Amino acid sequence: MKSRMDNGPLMIDLDGPELAAEEVELLRHPRVGGVILFSRNAGPPPQVAALVAEIRRCRPGLLVAVDQEGGRVQRLCDGFTRLPPLARLGELYTRQPARATTLAHELGWLMAAELRAVDVDISFAPVLDLGAVNDEVIGDRAFSADPAVVTELAVAWVAGMREAGMAATGKHFPGHGSVRGDSHTMLPEDPRPLEAIIASDMQPFASLVRRGLPAVMAAHVVYPQVDTLPASFSRRWLGEVLRTQLGFDGAVFCDDLCMAGAGGMGDMLARADAALAAGCDMLPVCNSRKAVTSLLDGWRPGAADPLAARRLVAMRGQPCQPDTGRVGQVRQAVGELESMI
């Protein structure tokens, strides 16, 4: 049995609700360190739990992740609570801030508790971007356009996740909400100087880092007054700003290397090299088996950050005690939230 410390930096996806024979071999490759689930992998909770158990039998230390934000971005739905968009909490906050903060904590707990019940380690949540101008890709995925509101609600959400045994991942550093364009299909640019970004979009990240945020996901967005490279491939952003200036010591996940926003870095091997060299600890490669096999067959990564393994081990899910009564109460609150707005 391989140690958790033997895992590589790649996070790959699967084709369906069960592991195919060829996928077993992929998961056993030493450069693979995680699996990300999508809707095509998900049925009701017993099926998801069985799939995760299959993954664990291949490599016990693999991180299993999913995007389970709520609203438009919720991969596991059948038998899981349909979570509202985070913006609903921001809207409630304008009238009942204490109620909104309490609900943020409980929704963070519920989301994480349901995932921990099927042994998923990570939900890439919460979104710390500002709901400023990017309705196309961020929009109601953000708590609010106000950095202070985003911070308060995110702190509560992260605390709820932690209570349920899950480490949070704030995304998309240093902020994707104030640019137009979708990094899935293009490389967005934010022309503002660093000082303006620090004063607005980066405020929730800075505040959560001070409170011990376990992980961030870096944005495929270029901020040309700071660096000509997207943040996800930028030593300036990840090394100088995030690690040194903010003092962040958690894990850094790159956004999906197959997204168009990463395309300017070259082929898949060049993208992986650049992300690892910039300071990313784990590199998701999604929706392209060709990209995965090219990395497993031809990539020879440079020396990894010696602290990366420790940071990623800290993202493993912790035991969560089931509380069906509380689950029912929070589900009822979800329905009430929609009627409050």
Mind telling me the catalytic residues?
184, 255
The CA distance from 11 to 21, in Å, is 18
Task: Give just the sign of the alpha carbon dihedral 222, 220, 210, 306.
Answer: negative
The CA distance from 234 to 280, in Å, is 9
The interaxial angle of helices 86-93 and 324-340, nearest 10 deg, is 70
For the CA atoms of 86, 321, 211, 127, what is the dihedral angle to 10 degrees?
-20
Q: CA dist 254 to 16, 38, 52, 82, 280, Å?
A: 24, 17, 23, 27, 6
**Beta-strand (E) ranges in 111-168?**
122-123
Residue 272: partners with Cβ closer than 8 Å, 6 or more residues away: 9, 10, 257, 283, 285, 295, 299, 301
Angle 145-150-151 from CA coordinates, rounded to 5°: 140
Element at 69 (helix H, strand E)? strand 68-70
Q: What is the largest CA-CA distance in the chain?
A: 55
Residue type, 239: G
The CA distance from 232 to 280, in Å, is 7
Whats the size of the chain, residue-wise?
A: 341
The CA distance from 299 to 335, in Å, is 48
Taking Cα atoms as reference points, which of 45, 43, 161, 187 lies closest to residue 105?
Answer: 161
